[in-house]
Structure 1
Amino acid sequence: MADDEGLPDFDVPVAPFQDLEDLKATVNSFTSQFKALADNPGNDPGGNRADDAHEADSDADDEDEPQYPPFILLLDPPEYDDELRALIEWVEGVLVPAYLGEPSADARWCHRWFEHTVAVARLHAAWLAWQELTDPATSGYLGPSTWHRDHLDPCLRELRTSSGPFAGCTKGEHQIGHRMPGIVPSAWRLAED
């Protein structure tokens, strides 16, 4: 990229660590459920345990319910900043090098895509789907194909069209169809000495 001055410098990709944390949370959830079942003194195999199971499920739901990432536009700083930082890592580290060719009049792209709310929303949705559909444990062999067909292709088609959010952006110029707020999100502020 020619103009990297507005982008923060990231040394470590965030997405693999998020995937690892999700896996740890799932394992911890199963471990606590297993311990609850093993430590229950009323484990009579022939008895009626429907009430006990319901109580255990409601307790487990409160403590071990998986936390799914919320849609980025519903977040406030600093959570928004953290999610945007992780999204930028994925877009710049995976999507741009693998899927985007040179921008043209028919396939536009803006190097400051993170300032376009529509682009952030669409790319975040594609990224959430990518996280789920590229995990063989949850999606099997068809996940990546489904992600390309149902998520990536429509997302890029909408973003890169000549009437899309990057319509005013050309190689040397960046324009957005709305005024951005005067305050830059805290993730992009330079540390003041």
Structure 2
Amino acid sequence: MTALEARAAEDQENKPAFILYMDGSEYDDGLHRLTLWVRHLLLPVYGREVTSSAAWCSRWWQHPEAVAQLYGLWMAWQELTGAGSGATGPSTWHRDHLGPVLASLRDPSGPFSGCRPGRHRAKEAPEMDPFPH
């Protein structure tokens, strides 16, 4: 193995796992850290008023799609705004990550579409017919 291959393998091992690949205490810890970021950074800085055309669920962690999207957003935040990131990292994060994720989550037909302030409503996944083989 070359030094470059060894470095690539080491980098892959040190990358944080995506939350949908976690379970048990690893998932709980990842979700806890995400909730801290959402509560103390995302919502105070980027949270806008909840309206019928821009829904939000105060129990967002009970929506798997929201957890997945917010965790990805948080991972990008860490990579693009942390120590060692380039000067354009924050701009890239805003343009490529923040805007699309918030637009998707807060869309009137998004994962929070049935939720209202103070009221969470779980969404049912669409059905799928068995795959014929």
Q: With structure 1 as the length reference, what TM-score do the two structures score?
A: 0.59
User: Which of the two has higher C-alpha Rg?
Assistant: 1
* Alpha-carbon offset, residue 128 of structure 1: 0.3
* Alpha-carbon offset, residue 107 of structure 1: 1.1
Cα contact 1:105–1:162 (8 A) shared by 2: yes
Cα deviations across residues 9-44 of structure 1 (Å, max 9, x unaligned)? xxxxxxxxxxxxxxxxxxxxxxxxxxxxxxxxxxxx
User: Structure 1 pair 59/143, CA: closer, same or farther in 2 (3 Å)?
Assistant: closer
SS in 2 for 1:78: helix
Q: Which residue of 2 aligns with 1:129?
A: 76
Q: Which residue of 2 aligns with 1:65?
A: 10
User: Structure 1 pair 162/132, CA: closer, same or farther in 2 (3 Å)?
Assistant: same
Q: Which residue of 1 aligns with 2:111?
A: 165
Q: Which residue of 2 aligns with 1:76?
A: 23
Q: Which 5+ residue runs of structure 1 have no aligned equivalent? A: 1-52, 180-193
Give the Cα–Cα distance (whole angstroms) in 2 for the partners of residues 65 and 168 of structure 1: 43
Picking from 33, 38, 49, the partner of 1:86 is 33
Picking from 92, 96, 119, the partner of 1:146 is 92
How do 1:2-17 residues align onto structure 2 when only pairs under 5 Å count?
none
Cα deviations across residues 105-132 of structure 1 (Å, max 9, x unaligned)? 1111100000000000000000000001
What amino acid is aligned across from residue 84 of structure 1 in structure 2? L
Question: 2:53 aligned with 1:106, yes or no?
Answer: yes
What amino acid is aligned across from residue 108 of structure 2 in structure 1? S
User: Structure 1 pair 166/59, CA: closer, same or farther in 2 (3 Å)?
Assistant: closer
**Root-mean-square deviation (CA), in Å?**
2.2
Residues matched between the structures, number? 123
Q: Which runs of 4+ in 1 moved over 6 A?
A: none
How do 1:18-37 residues align onto structure 2 when only pairs under 5 Å count?
none
* Alpha-carbon offset, residue 178 of structure 1: 2.7
What amino acid is aligned across from residue 102 of structure 1 in structure 2? E
What amino acid is aligned across from residue 103 of structure 2 in structure 1? R
What amino acid is aligned across from residue 83 of structure 1 in structure 2? G
Cα contact 2:58–2:118 (8 A) shared by 1: no
* Alpha-carbon offset, residue 82 of structure 1: 0.6
Q: Which 5+ residue runs of structure 2 have no aligned equivalent? A: 126-133
